[in-house]
Amino acid sequence: MVKKVVGGSAEFYVRFPKFQTVSGKLSWSHYTEILKSDSELEIGFYAKQCELENWSVRELKRQMKSLD
């Protein structure tokens, strides 16, 4: 479990190196779901949509699954 959290933290830092770009409106759970995408464009899109539309993690998962 610890390796999973540390790995997730490292990936988070790589994807969002400027902490100012991280929204305080999103939870860690939002970011762990968003980071499952390999596309930088999708990551940015879903992060912004979660913030603008106030998506729950459940809604985020639904939205991401609908595009698969």
Amino acid of residue 5? V
The whole-number pLDDT of residue 49 equals 95
Give dist(CA 64, CA 43) in Å, integer: 10
Q: What is the mean pLDDT of the chain?
A: 79
> Does the global pTM surpass 0.95?
no
Q: Confirm if 64 and 39 have CB atoms less than 8 A apart.
A: no
The whole-number pLDDT of residue 57 equals 96
pLDDT > 80? residue 5: no
Q: Confirm if 67 and 40 have CB atoms less than 8 A apart.
A: no
Residue with tokens 């459940």: 58
pLDDT confidence of 42, banded at 50, 70, 90? very high
